[in-house]
A and B are shown apart, each in its own frame.
Chain A
């Protein structure tokens, strides 16, 4: 009998904070720029230059902690994490070792109709490194623009069990970071990065399997693919009696495979020590409370509101809160729409496929969306016409009403016109009508289809059904 396996996943997410200036100096944090143009003696690590903590970084970190139900450290410190690499100017990254700003939190995700709580071990502050640029014929150059950009690292408990859960967790986490406005969370610009710690064990086993860390994951899709691939690889190794080693692996987007980067056997010793150039971090109750009071409405609160006020189901509501912009858009349309459930359905099943949910931008004004819902509710158009109108709205800047008028898409609800159409349809589809009368209920669909074709989808479907049934039954 085939054994059942379970994948155990924990995540380390690096979120670049959108403070105006870097963590230890007053250089801008702006993305890009001429190489080494956003630099100064401090972020270049020049001899004698000293770091001074940007207090805004603490505000953001505390915000992130409170928004993920963490406890906040009252007395913290910053530590040097030592390693040599050319993008790290001082050969140590100022990070936090044993006293992270936030610890012991959690967030809830929605997977397969159930809510699951994922633990957050800790959130600490640290500085980003610069980056290496390989230039043909010149060699490797270093750009320190990113060096010293503030990051928070959010470490989860190994509570995740599938790519689907990971995706839900990341979406939720990203949504929260965007809601509280601490980061742009752009994966393509590296302001939201994720490392995956993964192991596989037999279901029910207490011990964890051999753990690998997967890096270089730059989209939700890569993360999901890497997890799928890596789980399968582990299962294969285990069932075929192969060996797994603790290592760091990269993910190759082209092949969809992970590959070994380095073994963990010569376990890195970062030789953490408190940074003697920085003072301890002291956070008092008043500070925490003032941040708590400034927190905006978070995704879970909005979700609950949508379920309660609009009667949406948990899954749909979760979909709508994945980004603050999307939720704002939905709420703006909801204020004008006559039926919010119809609105939610349209958004999720018709509009989502046209937009990039990872970087939501409104496809057309929310007022137009509400107008469209109201046209449906008022019987002016039917659902199938609304799909055509949405396609048109995405292409143009026209309002639904304009499109309806221009293209003559208004629903035919005049019972005299419908009656005529029904008669004509019956006359032209005698065979189907007879089949129906003989007990084959489905046969009538052909007659309805005929009417819809003739009216290019504009006939009021309820009215058509109702009148057709009256006629064929008599």
Chain B
């Protein structure tokens, strides 16, 4: 089945298929899949039938009506297990929905399941990509971009973080993952926008990203770091975009080499701080074996955090401890500002920045650029990302759509 959102919506509108059928098909594909933490079979089918009935009765339905979607398991879902990939929250059932869930449900989206993430989503995961590859959902919301699908890390502050169980507040930003650029535009339109529950969410007028698809990219500027200009994937993409009329410029990026140490310091500090609430007192895991408060804290945290998490917590606390704060945390903040300034200047003056994207160690620094800078990025399904100026998602979508029309359509239909 062609699982593109827009195709599915057309088929449901023309009654050639139903949400129930689509949802059933998705469940068959991913029931028991190792990427899934919770599959909401009955709830999803019941909701699908509701949406089908609404359509049958000619009632007005939402923009994502009847589309089964998966979200990562660090997004709070009311009354549905939300583990954030941690033993700490193995039994945690939130009493509220994340804002992004509310927005999906308002548009009659079917919440099909929760996708596994790494512990508190600190490391990226390809599980949403895997679910989509299997045809297990129409789209997904991930905590990171994926190399082989259309996915977008929006500008920091565009999509509410309320209810997202994050380890690293200033880096986290939810990512829609889709089978096409058109789908991405629609999903982003639904989830983006100011949320008064999130102070870091920006106040901007709502944008209809589906209107950003039109227009060509003739004369559009793109930039490539000099040391990457001979990278095969980058070279191919640049050639393709040049064929579509884009103008390429090679740029020198001096600060990218500082990304990893700065990221490690800042993200660990935030992680350590954000993990404090997991103390066994109010929710989540509590050790069975304790005789006083100190032991309750120590054993709970010793038993439920992984070795990796413990290392990050220790390191994170170290870099903000008195005497070290200026040397590490503050210095890393300055470095982050330098990186942001340099990349923002390049994307504003020299054009959209083309960089590799992947989970492999060699790409790690590139994959963290949008987290570090808060700038929007899009992946085109080919191990490449494009980074744009803040809140220029429309331009990124237009560029990606042109690219997709020229080079990806065949694959999708095939």
Contact = CB atoms under 8 A, between A and B. Distances in A.
A269 B197 contact: no
Contacts of B82: 47
Interface of B: 74-76, 82, 84, 89, 92, 94-96, 98, 161-166, 169-170, 196-200, 269-270, 273, 276-277, 279, 281-284, 293, 297, 317, 320-322, 325, 329
Interface residues of A, number: 28
A46 B317 CA distance: 21
A45 interface: yes
Nearest to A78: B199
Interface stretch (A87-95, A240-248, A356-364, A386-394): A87-95
Given A50-B198, A82-B273, A84-B279, A273 B165 contact: no
Contacts of A41: 94-96
B95 A46 contact: yes
Nearest to A142: B281
A272 B320 CA distance: 7
Given A50-B199, A277-B169, 13 more contacts: A46-B283, A47-B94, A48-B164, A50-B197, A50-B200, A52-B196, A52-B197, A52-B199, A84-B297, A89-B282, A271-B320, A271-B325, A278-B200
Interface of A: 41, 44-53, 80, 82, 84, 86, 89-92, 142, 269, 271-273, 276-279
A273 B320 contact: yes
A278 B281 contact: no
Contact of B277 (A45, A142, A278): A45
A273 B273 contact: yes
A264 to B, nearest CB: 14
9 contacts: A50-B200, A52-B199, A82-B276, A82-B317, A91-B279, A271-B273, A271-B320, A277-B199, A279-B199
B170 A48 contact: no
Nearest to A83: B276
Q: Which of A44, A84, A271, A279 counts the most chain B CB atoms within 10 A? A: A271
Contacts of A53: 199
A46 B95 CA distance: 9
Contacts of A52: 196-199
A84 B96 contact: no
B270 A86 contact: no
B236 to A, nearest CB: 38
B334 to A, nearest CB: 13
A49 B162 contact: yes
Given A86-B293, A276-B170, A277-B169, A44 B270 contact: no
A44 B165 CA distance: 14
B200 A271 contact: no
B180 to A, nearest CB: 30
A45 B278 CA distance: 10
Contact of A273 (B95, B277, B293, B329): B329
A16 to B, nearest CB: 23
Contacts of A273: 269, 273, 320, 325, 329
A51 B200 CA distance: 10
B163 A49 contact: yes
A86 B279 CA distance: 8
The 3 closest A-B pairs by CB, nearest first: A91-B276, A276-B169, A276-B170
A124 to B, nearest CB: 18
B277 A47 contact: yes
Given A86-B293, A276-B169, A47 B199 contact: no
Contacts of A279: 199-200
A443 B209 CA distance: 104
Nearest to A52: B199
A92 B223 CA distance: 43
Contacts of B165: 47-48
A366 B295 CA distance: 60
B76 A48 contact: yes
Nearest to B317: A271
B322 A269 contact: yes
Contacts of B317: 82, 271
A460 to B, nearest CB: 72
A48 B325 contact: no
A94 B163 CA distance: 19
Q: For A82, A92, A269, A276, which residue has the most chain B Cβ atoms within 10 angstroms?
A: A276
B162 A48 contact: yes
Contacts of A277: 169, 199-200
Contacts of A272: 320, 325
A45 B329 CA distance: 24
B45 to A, nearest CB: 27
Nearest to B198: A50
A272 B197 CA distance: 24
A51 B166 CA distance: 14
Contacts of A50: 161-162, 197-200
B270 A84 contact: no
Contacts of B163: 48-49
B320 A47 contact: no
Nearest to B275: A91
A272 to B, nearest CB: 7
A208 B269 CA distance: 36
Nearest to A97: B325
A279 B270 CA distance: 15
A91 B301 CA distance: 13
A47 B84 CA distance: 9
Contacts of A51: 199
Contacts of B284: 47
Contacts of B199: 50-53, 277-279
B92 A47 contact: yes
Contact of B98 (A48, A82, A84, A269): A48
A142 B279 CA distance: 14
Contacts of A49: 96, 162-163
A325 to B, nearest CB: 37
A80 B270 CA distance: 10
Contacts of A278: 199-200
Among B163, B273, B317, chain A packs the most CB atoms within 10 A around the CB of: B273
Nearest to B97: A48
Contacts of A45: 277, 282
A92 B320 contact: no
A90 B161 contact: no
B95 A84 contact: no
A269 B282 contact: no
A45 B279 CA distance: 11
Given A41-B95, A41-B96, A276-B170, A91 B277 contact: yes
Nearest to B172: A276
A278 B169 CA distance: 10
A90 B270 CA distance: 13
A448 to B, nearest CB: 73
A168 B116 CA distance: 62
A243 B376 CA distance: 62
B270 A276 contact: yes
B281 A86 contact: yes
Contacts of B92: 47
Nearest to B120: A47
Nearest to A87: B281
Nearest to A51: B199
A278 to B, nearest CB: 5
A278 B200 CA distance: 6
Contacts of B198: 50, 52
A44 B276 CA distance: 13
B321 A47 contact: no
Contact of A84 (B84, B94, B170, B276): B276
Contacts of B162: 48-50
Contacts of B293: 86
B157 to A, nearest CB: 10
